[in-house]
Structure 1
Amino acid sequence: MPPSEAPPRPPSTGPARSARTGGSRRRALGRTAAVAALLAGAALFSPAPAARAAVPLQKIGDFGTNPGALNMYVYRPAAMPAAPAVVVALHGCTQSAQVYADNSGLTEFADRYGFLLVFPETTAANNSSQCFNWFEPGDTGRGRGEAASIRQMVTRAGAAYGADPARVYITGLSAGGAMTSVMLVAYPEVFAAGAVIAGVPYACADSVVTAYSCMSPGTDRAPSAWAGSVRDANPGYGGPWPRVAIWHGDGDTKVVPRNADELRDQWTAVHGLDQSPDRTSTIGPDSTRREQYLAADGSVAVEVDRVPSIAHGTPVDPGTGPQQCGSTGTAHFIRSICSSYWITGFFGLDGSAPAPGGPPAPTGLAATAATDTTVTLGWNAVGGAASYAVYRDGARIATPDGSPFTDTGLGPGTGHSYAVAARDGAGVEGPRSSEVHATTTGAAPKCWTANNYQHVQAGRATTSGGHVYAQGSHQDMGLYNTFVVHTLKESPAGHYVVADGTCP
């Protein structure tokens, strides 16, 4: 097998760390080799080609004591307002700050909406495959190692650029996604929200050995147990907890999709919510399935975005459209949906948040008509409004002059949530209306009742670790045998949910 896919050597039996001098450090070679094979070869990444374009990044040399020996890079948009928001973006293994800036599409939205980007970067001195050490206790606790270094970068951004401390967000891919989980737990008062791409729950692993099982087949714990790990890390913290978006490819065999379910279980339980989505929809050109879990005030506390048919990587959609971004010129940036567009919206950085002094919220919003591919909306006019902003599933899709408005290009039999906000002549947007839910017409959902073996053979489910999981929803259906029987409902096409006793 290629060297990058060689089995890992056991972790070093010597001390976990050597002495640090002047903020730099060296890992024990045995452990570094194990991590390299784990994250770069057998589990997360193979070497990637160089990026095709170079985004101008500024390296910040002095941002604190830097106990994790990381590098700090910043992308500052040309038009940046006073007190900008900050998004911290963590690269994956074998990648760099530059690679992630060049390909993820985040800088395109920083330019569009004026927020500051901070790109932490680990090095081969920390990990031979340049992975953030998301499973090392010395790097994942508050005030420790890499986690502390990233926290210092946020402080530096605030001091140097006047960044708004109430609008700090974090996202990352794979090992960077796992480190995103770490930062949300270690510093919940710092980050308003985070987005984990192809990552794992917090406290899923604390060694190379447990990291293997965490990534595949995944670690199954009760939501209360996952939430307990979060609260135990900050026993004196009473909230509020960060909002969390979870992005995962349905075809990911490196960090299996079960991790998206476990992340959902962890963060819904932290927010005191159950694990049944309050609303579901499809977004993007590939019909990514979105599940949203709402807080008491109606805001989205947790969101799961399941990208169909893609493997391990950051979803991008190269192009010049308003919902497109990124590049596929480097490995593990996969053409599907521009995740950075939707993550920017989840963070509230897309200009959709209501501004003080805007018009009042429209009333009377209703879905007045629907076809297989369209939904027509109507609402009461707002005095003084020059236009309106229409939101589908939380994302702004149009700014018509008034009612009615027809949303086109939808899939048959798909459900969507809509809201409308009024805009004055200067484009200042008021609060959104109450949401309405509408479903396009089309064929009724299809249902199948069969044993787990038959569901797998028919392609309605997959098997991993002796258990069967519904295709698309990844619901655990029990053991892979002919004795366990379930009814599966397909809606939309290719997405199956367990519907025992309820499927029409």
Structure 2
Amino acid sequence: MVLHGCTQTAAIYDTCSGWSRLADEYGFALLLPEQVRSNNSNLCFNWFNPADVRRNSGEALSIRQMVEHMIERCNVDRSRIFITGLSAGGAMANAMLAAYPDVFSAGTILAGLPYRSASTISEAFDRMRGYGLQDSEALEAEVRRASDHQGPWPRVSVWHGTGDDTVVPANAMAIVGQWRGVHGIGPQPASTRQRGSRTLQVWKDASGRGVIELNTFSGMDHGAPLDTTTGYGKSGAFFLDVGVSSTVESARAWGLRKPMLSSRRRDGIEVAVENALRWTGLAPRPRS
């Protein structure tokens, strides 16, 4: 599942990120929900509205229903469902991981924000600027309150640019802190690697499995990191060619980049396209 950012459409996000081409070549089902202006005039997913990020409520419920439709229509393995998003879509992806940790195996959050870090529009803008972010313990408690799930918890990958002044990098560290507590791991990463402008930190659980990673890019602005030389995606507004593709690396980390029989690949992408067209907007919010 791929969630676009504010002012974007699902089609624009798909074209620039390269997800459909990857799905076509490797045969996995792809779902791209699209926000509608009747829900948010700027086409942002409402990650800051408590009614829209609670389990079985509002936009979170609509997205969950879309996932269930895809599972049934495409015969998807329930143990291999993943989510990613950019900016408001990244914050909403984090909300879905928190509200439905029993549904998603892993997620990639691009320039996003912590779950339940804001509850009003004014608070949302404050958190985007780094003001009023809760400590890790308080943020962890929000995830634990989101469901009665006791584990195992989704793996989380966070991507952020140090030059991002739309959603400041403090949010990336806050997301890491939120999920570290849930996974029961300490503040220090198990490994840190730097290559070019990218620094990759990995936190491992007691079994030695990497469960949280933080990718930071020196000087990178607000957007999704891409490597257009891979042939997946193209640069544009909020799609930044920094020599590393968040799309390709997420697919690889999730085990999606494995060739499949051509007939299955064809059927998979046809269903994915059909559903992308079908789900052009979020279902209406349930009435209280």
TM-score interval, smaller chain: 0.7 to 0.9
1:326 is the counterpart of 2:233 = yes
Offset of residue 220 of structure 1 = 3.6
* Deviations 1:1-32, CA, capped at 9 Å, x for gaps: xxxxxxxxxxxxxxxxxxxxxxxxxxxxxxxx
Q: Is the 8 A contact 1:218 1:259 kept in 2?
A: no
Q: Is the 8 A contact 1:105 1:316 kept in 2?
A: no
Q: Match for 1:345: what amino acid?
A: R
Relative distance call for 1:115 and 1:229 in structure 2 (3 A) is same
Q: Per residue, is there more helix in 1 or in 2?
A: 2
Q: Match for 1:166: what amino acid?
A: S
Cα distance in 2 between the residues matched to 1:259 and 1:133: 17
Aligned to 2:34: 121
Aligned to 1:294: 204
Unaligned runs of 5+ in 1: 1-87, 353-504
Cα distance in 1 between the residues matched to 2:179 and 2:132: 15
Aligned to 1:229: 142
- Runs of 4+ residues over 6 Å off in structure 1: none
Aligned to 2:281: none
Q: Is the 8 A contact 2:203 2:213 kept in 1?
A: yes
Aligned to 1:250: 162
Offset of residue 219 of structure 1 = 3.6
Q: Is the 8 A contact 1:245 1:346 kept in 2?
A: no
Aligned to 2:250: 343
Unaligned runs of 5+ in 2: 260-288
Cα distance in 1 between the residues matched to 2:132 and 2:93: 18
Give the secondary structure class of the aligned counterpart of 2:33: strand
Offset of residue 247 of structure 1 = 0.4
User: Any residues of structure 2 matched to 1:41-440 within 5 Å, and which?
Assistant: 88-234=1-147, 236-283=148-195, 286-319=196-229, 321=230, 325-328=232-235, 330-336=236-242, 337-351=244-258
Cα distance in 2 between the residues matched to 1:151 and 1:172: 15
Q: State percent identity of aligned pairs.
A: 41
Aligned length: 258
* Deviations 1:442-479, CA, capped at 9 Å, x for gaps: xxxxxxxxxxxxxxxxxxxxxxxxxxxxxxxxxxxxxx
Q: Is the 8 A contact 1:224 1:269 kept in 2?
A: yes
Aligned alpha-carbon RMSD (Å): 1.5
Aligned to 1:446: none
Cα distance in 1 between the residues matched to 2:180 and 2:207: 15
Q: Match for 1:246: what amino acid?
A: V
Cα distance in 2 between the residues matched to 1:220 and 1:91: 23
Cα distance in 2 between the residues matched to 1:243 and 1:307: 21
Q: Is the 8 A contact 1:218 1:258 kept in 2?
A: no
* Deviations 1:320-366, CA, capped at 9 Å, x for gaps: x4xx53111x31111112111111122232349xxxxxxxxxxxxxx
Aligned to 1:495: none
Cα distance in 1 between the residues matched to 2:54 and 2:157: 22
User: Any residues of structure 2 matched to 1:11-26 within 5 Å, and which?
Assistant: none
Cα distance in 1 between the residues matched to 2:156 and 2:132: 19
Q: Match for 1:340: what amino acid?
A: T
Q: Is the 8 A contact 2:50 2:116 kept in 1?
A: no
Cα distance in 1 between the residues matched to 2:205 and 2:23: 28
Offset of residue 218 of structure 1 = 4.0
- Larger of the two Rg values belongs to structure: 1
Cα distance in 1 between the residues matched to 2:23 and 2:218: 27
Q: Match for 1:161: what amino acid?
A: C
Cα distance in 1 between the residues matched to 2:91 and 2:49: 11
Q: Is the 8 A contact 1:169 1:191 kept in 2?
A: yes
Identify the structure with bigger relative contact order (alpha carbons < 8 Å, sequence gap 6+).
Answer: 2
Q: Per residue, is there more strand in 1 or in 2?
A: 1
Give the secondary structure class of the aligned counterpart of 1:178: helix
* Deviations 1:164-199, CA, capped at 9 Å, x for gaps: 111000000000000001100111100000110000
Cα distance in 1 between the residues matched to 2:22 and 2:189: 28
